[in-house]
Amino acid sequence: MNTLTGKQKSHLRSLAMKKKPLFRIGKEGITPTLLAAIDDYITKNELLKIAFLDASGIVIEELAEALAKLDIAVVQTIGKNFVVYRRNPKLEHGIELPR
């Protein structure tokens, strides 16, 4: 994954503002099933917001490491919300990033 520029991250953050977290990480933590579901969703949609529940006990860095193994970039972390992105060149109408 190429590193995102500040301008690209800003663009992705603005797109993510309209989204609600689709995945919530709770007491089960980061499971292979969760990672597979995130991988599948981001392949089809490129941009995703993830939320941590208070009961999760997960350190944010743990999720960042797990996502990095899937070539998913962390765009933003605000409190217990994560915005992540992975480009899919096969999508016909994917997200156009500024240069």
What pLDDT was estimated at residue 80?
A: 84
What pLDDT was estimated at residue 2?
A: 63
Spans of all domains in the chain:
6-85
* Cβ count near 74 (within 10 Å): 18
The CATH H-level (homologous superfamily) assignment of domain 6-85 is YhbY-like (3.30.110.60)
pLDDT (tens place) for every residue of the chain, 99 residues total: 568 999 999 999 999 998 999 999 888 888 999 999 999 999 999 999 999 887 777 777 888 899 999 999 999 998 888 899 999 999 988 899 998
Sheet holding 81-85, edge to edge: 23-25, 47-52, 81-85, 73-78
pTM: 0.89
Task: Look up residue 54 and give its DSSP letter.
Answer: G
What pLDDT was estimated at residue 16?
A: 94
Q: Is 79 left (phi over 0), alpha (psi -120 to 50) or beta?
A: left
